[in-house]
Amino acid sequence: MRLTAFDFFSDGRAAVSTWNGDVWLVSGLDEKLDHVTWKRFAAGLFEPLGLRIVNDEVFVLCRDQLMRLHDLNGDGEADFYECFNNDTWVSPSYHGFAFDLQTDHAGNFYYTRCGQRVDPALPLNGGMVKVSKDGSRAELIATGLRAANGMAVGPNDEIVCGDNQGNWVPSSRINWIKTGGFYGYLPHARREPPPTDYEKPICWLPMTIDNSSGGQAWVTSDRWGPLKGQLLHTSYGRARCCLC
């Protein structure tokens, strides 16, 4: 199914997106998992790689827009696909992905857009994008991201993201995002004169550990024991999880 993102409703059900363009509702996620059911909620979306449930409403980040899905007649299928924000531009480049979808305590949305092989003339690419709570405005709050596959917003609104090794990025890295920061991918620096330095990462990840970075998550539950309060990083390329 090529699953890309998921989040949970207040009743314990999950919503899951796929790269092919579907959103599924998953029920029966209890301790036994002996009666799990899947129901397709939406279809035909453009590479939905981020999903967030806010007040039990499903928001999906697609390559062309941030979308809110509505089930107006209560039959378990979305019948109104609302364009919540489409300030960004779509690139024909394979690498022009929009990744992940997170929120802060004020209700603002965050995601990343790749810069690798994307025309720098297109706005809101190659950086961290912030969308206002009401969807009325999107802005780049950090630049110079090459191919940031995933991110996280921490318990105190800390923002981190990964980035993938390649041109201008010698090894995969985990970034602590600062407003106005530049993170190394020079073609999308979006400032003159071009910077001669960049924000240093939390850590560099050797190719043998992570050749294609995924998203991150803070451990906030006591059930994780001594790992509570730690930051976890996932590797898409190595299919593993690292403790930061």
> Same structural domain for residues 104 and 44?
no
**pLDDT higher than 80, residue 94:** yes
**pLDDT higher than 80, residue 244:** no
> Same structural domain for residues 20 and 110?
no
Asked if residues 100 and 107 have their Cβ atoms less than 8 Å apart, the reply is: no
pLDDT band at 136 (very low <50, low <70, confident <90, very high): very high
Q: What residue has token string 């809110």?
A: 68
**pLDDT higher than 90, residue 62:** yes
The range of the structural domain enclosing residue 54 comes to: 1-86
> What confidence tens digit (pLDDT) does each residue in 180-190 have?
999 999 999 99
Q: Share the mean pLDDT of the chain.
A: 96
Question: In degrees to the nearest 10, what's the CA dihedral of 231, 111, 52, 94?
Answer: -110
> Same structural domain for residues 126 and 192?
yes
Residue 208 has a pLDDT of 92
Choose the final residue of a domain: 86, 111, 145: 86
Rounded to two decimals, the pTM is 0.96
> What confidence tens digit (pLDDT) does each residue in 32-56 have?
999 999 999 999 999 999 999 999 9
Nearest-5° angle of CA 203, CA 204, CA 208?
A: 130
**pLDDT higher than 90, residue 239:** no
Nearest residue to 79 via CA among 93, 69, 89, 65: 69
CATH number for the domain that contains residue 24: 2.40.10
The number of beta carbons lying within 10 Å of the beta carbon of residue 68 is 18
Burial (0-12, 13-18, 19+ Cβ within 10 Å), 92: exposed
% of the chain surpassing 90 pLDDT? 94
| Domains: count for the chain | 2
Spacing of C-alpha 193 from chain mean position: 30
Q: What is the mean pLDDT of residues 103-111?
A: 98
